Structure 1
Amino acid sequence: MDLEAVRTFAAVAEAGQFQKAAADLSITQQAVSKRIAALERDLGVRLFDRTPRGAEPTIDGQAFLPHARELLRVAERAVASVHAGRRPLRIDVISSRGAGSGLLRDFHRAHPGTELDVLMLLEIEAAVDAIRSGAIDASFRAVAMPGRRLPEDIASVRVVDEPLQLLTGPGHALAGARSVTLARLAGHRIWMPGLLPGSEWAAYYDDLVAEFGLTIEATGPNFGSDALLDTVADTPALATFMGGLTRLVWPAGHGLRLVPVTDPVPVYPHALLWHRDNPHPALTALRAHLATAAPAPDAPGTWRPAWVLPH
């Protein structure tokens, strides 16, 4: 179906006259007539009755009109979807409560006129594939994992190092500590369900365990942060690591404690990934915002795995 013919049909139906529609479309009246005739042949029906007052849609024309308008709206959305700056910026943040989501919220507050589509992809391979295919514009990740290089067409930059804190229930042996060193955590059970094998966060904690002799348990199903908080609050023998930029709310009766970890401070490195050829102007604005909105990574006294890309 010729979309210009559909556009012409809608213009004639709106104007009520072939001559007025021709003027609105900046084409000749003869061109309008030819387009309408071709559309009628394609559909096998007559779309207009000629009257002394102009042109009135037939019963078939009236039935086709709302669909014609929808076709034109869909076409406009399709064109907008591939014009940088005319479609929302699509960003993967992994989770709604994590640091990436917080950074994106800060950007939105600073640029309220920028439209955003927020997605949550679990695996880094899915995020990279989505960036390369154009399904998303960027993703917040920790890169690059051991033995796994990013494709040449994917760019990345570290945007923030998130300090880890120890989260305990009120009965835990370290609940009253003002801070705790990594060395002091040796022998304590740190429960972290949801460490997906092969993920960048699993690789991070593997290195943390190897370097500091910690005991991290990933047993049991991952029922989400609320279930994790419930279990830690009720189990004095368990603690967990929580990012200092992660947004969590728990019932007052839980009595949970967040204890800073020091000597060194383990930091989780968040980076932004994007396609080197992505022209979306809002992506440039996001990168500029992130460059100034968070403390520079690699602060003295912090620890990160050796495989993490430098700032």
Structure 2
Amino acid sequence: MDIATSKPQSTGHANGIAFAVAVIALASIPWFTGSVFHFHIAIMICLGAMAAAGLGTIAWVGQLSLAHGAFVGIGAYTCVLMVMRLGVPFVVGLPLAALVTGAIAYVIGTPLLRLRGVYFVLITFALNELFRLVMLEFPSVSGGSSGIAAIPKISLFGLVLRDQQSVYVFALAMLALVMALLWSIRRGPLGRRFAAVEENLELAEASGIPTARTQNTAFVIGSAIAGFTGAIMAHYIGFISPESFGFQLSVSYVIILVTGGRLALAGPLVGAIFLTPLPEFLRSAQEYQHIIYGVVLIVVLRFLPEGLAGLPKRLAGKGREQS
């Protein structure tokens, strides 16, 4: 049997149900409440899910990157500088931000992905900190510690998205675009190679799969999605600084991904829906936020190793056992 086709790419109907429920909830709840605050939360969920989906693409080949926040930052700065200093329209700057981020990821990933396991994790952590420090040293580009403020709002062919509702519709559409892209990749031959590499790197290599190139492809795609997300985030929030893209941001995406389901297509969305609102609800206990995140992560890893997206599948399996 060809190893590239041996691992199923779908996590089954149960995970499909989790994905459908998450999408329906995300799409409908803000409209029912009509609250500007709820629209803001929904927008941040879309952005968190997009970035975590990019990180999940890297996880599909068995790697965990702690430089994801830096790639979000590269996309953010690329788009903002193009729009504000070169006069490039946002609709042009957005895809260019993804392309530039992907190109940088390719250059970095070619030597970087020779490393395995904890060594890869540590070097990506160092890269994230290096990005932050370098940007602080070039205030003419990054704004330094003061950052860049008054970033123009998202504009689509002259239509400026001034209210939360319109930004939410745009963010939801972009999330759908990213998820559709990843769904098509996952079902195709490239997705099967990703799965083979994640399952058994040595066996995949022995079967003729170019493992280094496959891992680098996943790294480039995932990082490009991060840059794409960063561009939208910067123009929505209206302010960026090097500190916006530090180690904490990378860790937050890891927690979203693991909580939702590291290998499930629905995982990033489910994790973002569950975790993104928490900081807003825990404002009165900010000093305990990281502890709460840690507890959530430990509980999920202990009782739901496939993440929250795997919960319907787990419950369905228990139901069959009882019957």
TM-score (norm 2): 0.20
> Bigger radius of gyration, 1 or 2?
1
Flag the structure with higher strand content.
Answer: 1
Flag the structure with higher helix content.
Answer: 2
